[in-house]
A and B are shown apart, each in its own frame.
Chain A
Amino acid sequence: MLARLRDDLQLYRLFVLSRLRAQLQYRGSFLMMTVITFFGLLAEFLAVLILFNRFGELAGWEVGEVAFLYGIASVSFGLAEMFGAGFDVFPEMIRRGEFDRVLLRPRSAFFQILSADFQLRRIGRISQGSLALGLAFAWASPEWSPAKMLYLPAMLACGMVIYISFFVLGATLCFWTVESVEVINVITHGGTEFASYPLPIYHLLMQRFFTFVVPLAFVSYFPSLYLLDRPEAADWPLALLVLSPFAAAAFIALVARVAWSVGVRHYRSTGN
Chain B
Amino acid sequence: MRLYYEIARRSFSRHLTYRAATLAGLATNGFFGLVRTYLFLGFYGEESTVSGWSQQDALAFVWFGQALLMPLLIFGWYELALTIRSGDVISDLSKPFDYYGFWLARDAGRAVYHTLFRSVPTLLIGLILFQFALAADPLRWLAFLGSLALAVWISFGMRFLANIAAFWLLDYRGPAMALMFANGLLSGLLVPLNFWPEWAEAVVRMLPFAGLVQIPVDVILGKATGAELAAALLFQLGWGVALMLAGRLVLGMAVRKVIVQGG
Contacts and interface: CB of A to CB of B under 8 A. Distances in A.
Contacts of B260: none
Contacts of A181: 24
Contacts of B184: 40, 43-44, 47
Of B41, B177, B185, chain A has the most CB atoms within 10 Å of the CB of B185
A39 B181 CA distance: 8
Interface residues of B, number: 38
Contact of A33 (B32, B44, B174, B185): B174
Nearest to A189: B28
Chain A interface size, as a band, is: 35 or more
Interface stretch (A50-58, A93-101, A222-230): A50-58
A51 B43 contact: yes
Interface in B7-48: 20-21, 24-25, 27-28, 31-32, 34-36, 38-39, 41-45, 47
Given A43-B182, A54-B51, A183-B27, A201 B174 contact: no
Given A33-B177, A50-B195, A201-B41, A44 B35 contact: no
A186 B185 contact: no
Interface in B211-258: none
B180 interface: yes
A36 B173 CA distance: 10
B134 interface: no
A194 interface: yes
B35 A47 contact: no
A53 B27 contact: no
B181 A43 contact: yes
Given A44-B190, A201-B42, A186 B195 contact: no
Judged by DSSP, the binding face of B is helix
Contacts of A193: 32, 35-36
B185 A43 contact: yes
Given A40-B181, A59-B45, A202 B38 contact: yes
Contacts of B31: 186, 190
Given A51-B43, A183-B27, A186-B28, A33 B195 contact: no
A185 interface: yes
B171 interface: yes
Interface in A56-105: 58-59
B185 A46 contact: yes
B181 A36 contact: yes
Interface in B138-196: 170-171, 173-174, 177-178, 180-182, 184-185, 190-191, 195-196
B263 interface: no
B35 A190 contact: yes
Contacts of A189: 28
Contacts of A28: 170-171
Nearest to B170: A29
Given A32-B174, A46-B185, A194 B27 contact: no
A197 B39 contact: yes
Given A32-B171, A40-B180, A47-B185, A203 B43 contact: no
A255 interface: no
A26 B35 CA distance: 38
A40 B177 contact: yes
Given A54-B51, A197-B35, A197-B39, 8 more contacts: A39-B178, A40-B178, A44-B181, A44-B185, A182-B21, A182-B25, A201-B38, A203-B38
Interface of A: 26, 28-29, 32-33, 36-37, 39-41, 43-44, 46-47, 50-51, 53-55, 58-59, 179, 181-183, 185-186, 189-190, 193-194, 197-198, 201-203, 206
8 contacts: A33-B173, A36-B174, A40-B181, A40-B184, A41-B181, A44-B184, A53-B197, A197-B42
